[in-house]
Amino acid sequence: MLPEAIPIQPAMEPSGNARPLLREIDDMLRRLLETGEPSAIDLSALPLNPADLDWLRSSLGVGEVAARLQANGESTFDETACPGVWWVAHRNEHGAVVAQFIEVAFVPELIKAHPDDIATGREQLEVLVSGL
């Protein structure tokens, strides 16, 4: 008796739901330049399939800056080929993506240093300097 064949899933096609996001991202980028106001699109809340996300990511391209944040799982902040447009992904401690965003900002808010952290860093540096 032959083993049962594993069915092959046809490649998923983009639904077309990602295309209008490019116009929205363009409006957000214009607003950022005019007012300095950052904004974001929660990709997890939209009816996008994996092929839509691949199409959008490919369309936006890869930029020059990437950052990682380790806090209860990894978060990645990848600038797209359009400076000011960031692809942000948050993963749980097992590496599964739990949320994805397009963030339009000069720098994503989560990777900016908090003033309290800077104060702590300065205290540490003062200790180093005093030991010289």
Give per-residue pLDDT as tens, 15-42.
888 999 999 999 999 999 999 999 999 9
Asked, for residue 14, whether it belongs to a domain, the answer is: no
Q: The domain that contains 96 carries what CATH number?
A: 3.30.1370.140
Q: Is residue 46 domain-resident?
A: yes
Asked whether residue 55 is assigned to any structural domain, the reply reads yes
Whole-angstrom distance, CA of residue 44 vs CA of residue 42: 5
Note whether residue 9 is domain-resident.
no
What is the model's pLDDT at position 39? Answer: 98
Q: Is 98 helix (H, G, I), strand (E, B) or coil?
A: strand
In a domain, 5, yes or no: no
For 99, counting Cβ atoms within 10 Å of its Cβ (0-12 exposed, 13-18 middle, 19+ buried), the class is middle
* Number of structural domains the chain divides into: 1
- What's the confidence (pLDDT) of residue 128? 93
For residue 89, which phi and psi values (nearest 5 degrees)?
Answer: -130, 130
Domain residues for the domain of 86 are 19-130
For residues 108 and 116, what is the distance between their CA atoms, to the nearest angstrom?
18
Is residue 74 domain-resident? yes
